[in-house]
Amino acid sequence: MADSPGAGQRLALGLAYRGRAYHGWQSQPDGRTVQDHLEAALSAFADQPVVTVCAGRTDAGVHALNQVVHLDTALDRDPFAWVRGTNRYLPADIAVQWCRPVAGTFHARNSARGRRYRHLVLESPVRPALESGAVGWTFRPLDGQAMRAAAAALIGEHDFSSFRAAACQSPTPVKTLRKIEVSRRGAYWRFDFDGNAFLHHMVRNIVGSLLAVGCGRMPPGWMAEVLAARSRDAAAPTFGAEGLYFLGPYYDADHAIPDHVPAHDWLP
């Protein structure tokens, strides 16, 4: 394939992946991360090294529907050629969904106005089988009304130190949660989060505490006490990564970044 070098441009890509086989997003020496696989595929397609910046780092086992990354390149290729060409070199559980040229000032992480996550949890006496790795699991019956009452205490700008992992690298524990929705479809609970940014393990730690309320082990008012304690020891244990999905970031409309991909229609 012939390429004509250009003056350079910034591209944004949307990426979907099943995280179970990977050690999270961020590059590691063993190469078993989503970033390592993506950058290797992009570099193979471009025939030169390519470095990416993502909107939100995901932990080992966490899935993504529309992870957004940006990269800089001097190659002049059709945007959809980046999609098809890169996917040729990616494993089956990682796929680029779209590609868009963006302004040089666009930054996948810093330009994001917010991020959305969804945690799916199966309530059943029997562990998941077909959905293994795709949903969390609890064998205890849950009270949705109690969990919604507990979640309400977390809405707004707060110090979320009680839900922060020890290894978190964020310069501040103060984040803004705009929405937590708790809903149920059959045996599956859905916990939807919308916030400006999230601390390491923040969603999983909140879900663990919501489940402690939902099963009746703690009262709804306990959540406000946990938040006020600003101590990780005050909250419930971290819930597993199974069933956690990074739905993607969202941006100001002038960036024209897609916020919906087919996987959003697939996910319950």
Residue 258 has pLDDT above 80, yes or no: yes
Q: Are 199 and 168 within 8 A, CB to CB?
A: yes
DSSP 167-215: T---S-SEEEEEEEEEEEETTEEEEEEEES---TTHHHHHHHHHHHHHT
Instruction: Give the pLDDT band of residue 194 (cuts 50, 70, 90).
Output: very high
At 120-139, the pLDDT tens digits run 999 999 999 999 999 999 99
Please, which pLDDT band fits residue 1 given cuts at 50, 70 and 90?
very low
Task: Using alpha carbons only, give the angle 12, 15, 21 rounded to the nearest 5 degrees.
Answer: 145
Q: Is the pLDDT of residue 161 over 80?
A: yes
**Complete domains list, the chain, with CATH:** 5-111 (3.30.70.580), 114-246 (3.30.70.660)
Tell me the per-residue pLDDT of 45-98, one tens digit each, with 9 for 90 and over: 999 999 999 999 999 999 999 999 999 999 999 999 999 999 999 999 999 999
Q: Is the pLDDT of residue 4 over 90?
A: no
The Cα–Cα gap between 220 and 228 comes to: 14
* Residues marked as catalytic: 59
Q: Rounded mean pLDDT of 198-210?
A: 97
Residue 7's pLDDT is: 59
User: Is pLDDT at 10 greater than 90 in this prediction?
Assistant: yes
CA-based nearest residue to 18, from 69, 68, 61: 61
Mean per-residue pLDDT for 175-183? 98
Give me the pLDDT at residue 268, please: 83
**In whole numbers, what is the pLDDT of the chain averaged over residues?**
95
